[in-house]
Copies of this chain bind each other. A is one copy, B any other.
Amino acid sequence: MRKAGTRGETTWLAIREAAVELIAIHGFEGFNLRELAARCGIKAGSLYNHIDSKEGLLKTLLESIMADLLREFDEQVAVIDDPIEQIRAAVRLHILFHTRRRTEVIIGNTELRSLSPASYQAITALRDRYENNLRQIISKGAARGVFHIPDAKITSFAIIAALTGVGHWYRSNGSLSQKRLIEIHEQLVLQALGVVDETAEATGSEVTRHAATS
């Protein structure tokens, strides 16, 4: 929790960044404030000029991550009406967010358990809102007869899990471009949603040329 009325904005930013990285590496319980302070060029005691407590820091981090994700969703996905284009935008956003902000997202998924009950509920409420957003798209598409799936809720879980998984293995410095990464997942998701349209056909054949990596 950023303390109110502090100057030293740069120190706070350094703390934020270093904390995300260290938590991603060691987990919340496994990282320690001394190392965090060292990475920021200060001593452990000085951290308390910027944070309330170790757990407060975690809550702040998780909150802002979820808030950012939700805001981007509102800006880029919620404004679209067509289910197919909307799911495409959602896939794009989710993958971009989960690759560009890999470490932040990892702790967002893993470290919830270290929050106090109150904080836990606050953060999971945001997460649920995001998941619900995605489910709505799928339900709407199914209602309009564009998607053909057995269960909107389970399908949304499966899609979110699949897309989130990308953050665990994708590295932007590899041979696979982010653009291509997104294309592939758009197709996979649309296929999973039972969409069979001319575009998919075209993309499918073009795609096949790059396939069979294994």
Which residue numbers of A lie inside 8 Å of B, CB to CB?
25-30, 110, 113-114, 132, 135-136, 138-139, 142-143, 148-166, 168-169, 176, 181, 183-185, 187-189, 191-194, 196, 203-204, 207-208, 210-214
Contact A194 B204 (CB under 8 A): yes
Residues in B with CB closer than 8 Å to A213 are: 151-154
Q: Is the interface of A mostly helix, strand, loop or mixed?
A: helix
Contact A149 B214 (CB under 8 A): no
Q: List 29 A-B contacts (CB under 8 A).
A: A26-B113, A27-B28, A27-B30, A30-B114, A135-B214, A138-B214, A142-B211, A148-B204, A149-B211, A150-B183, A150-B188, A150-B203, A151-B212, A152-B212, A152-B213, A152-B214, A153-B213, A153-B214, A154-B185, A154-B213, A157-B165, A158-B162, A161-B165, A161-B168, A164-B165, A188-B192, A189-B192, A191-B191, A191-B193
